[in-house]
Amino acid sequence: RQEKDLRRMGLPLDHKTVSNWHIKVCEYYLSSLYELLRKELLKLDVIHADETPYRVLDSERAKDYVWTFLSGKHAEKPIVLYHHGSRKGAEAWDFLTGFSGYLHCDQYPGYLRLSQQDVTLVGCMAHARRKFHDSLPKDKTRESDATSVANQGIHYCDQMFSLEYAWKDLSVEERYEKRQSELKPLLEKFSDWCSKKSISVFPSGKLGTAFQYCIKHMDKFMN
């Protein structure tokens, strides 16, 4: 509304000018709050991270990235922070300076350096499941080809998700015991299955890529 009022007064305003006002307001008044929340986030034992590309018309790069860093769903005070920049690993390293807990993320190489800084990387099974899903033939549904190797991989992941969902209201200690007694054996079975089945598929195909991803990062899934 203020923009329309100023235009009626004959002041030249464009969207870029208004966007810059928003940016400056955030820098002047919210950056200190953002930094305070970042420091609180780094004190936690578990942090989730992910990055995704987006287009910025005035950027010198073909793609910019928005990084998301957030507390675990069982945190007493949830925190979600966004960071904009390139996809260089330095973006994550700089943001997470001082963190020494568990980082739940995909296995983008930019995160790997953090494992040298007292950070334990935890693999994301949703990313593993997605790779099996992407290897399904486009002309077949899961129901029509339920016994395919790709669907078997998806089924393993769904079993793990089902267990985690059933334990969502348990205490940390109870959930840990359940993971040791029920989830760990299932994950070990999945690991053995990946090793055996991967021999009979083309490594360069989508299914082969799914297997190689799981085998290469199985230690992170075990974390």
Per-residue pLDDT of 71-98, as tens digits, reads 998 898 999 999 988 889 899 999 999 9
Q: Is the domain of 61 the same as that of 113?
A: yes
* Whether residue 210 sits in one domain with residue 158: yes
DSSP-derived letter for residue 87 is S
Question: Is 10 contained in some domain?
Answer: no
Residues 111 and 131 placed together within one structural domain of the fold = no
- The proportion of the chain whose per-residue pLDDT surpasses 70, expressed as a percent, equals 89
Residue 127 pLDDT class (50, 70, 90 cuts): very high
108 and 167 in a single domain? The answer is no
Averaged pLDDT for residues 19-40? 91
pLDDT (0 to 100) of residue 198: 94
Q: Are residues 139 and 218 in the same domain?
A: yes
Amino acid letter at 158?
Answer: D
- Domain boundary (121, 156, 178) is at 121
Residue 3 in domain: no
Cα–Cα nearest to 211, from 151, 153, 124: 153
Q: Which residues of 117-134 are buried (b: 16+ CB within 10 A; e: fewer)?
A: eebebbbbbebbbbbbbe
Look at residue 104 and tell me whether its pLDDT is greater than 70: yes
pLDDT given at position 146: 67
51 DSSP β-pair partners: 67
pLDDT at 219 over 90: yes
Q: Which domain holds residue 105?
A: 35-121
pLDDT at 14: 78
Question: Is 5 a member of any domain?
Answer: no
Mean pLDDT of 18-37: 89
User: Is residue 8 in a domain?
Assistant: no
CA distance 161 to 105: 16
Whole-prediction pTM: 0.82
Is 61 part of any domain? yes
Instruction: Read off the tokens for 14.
Output: 């464009």
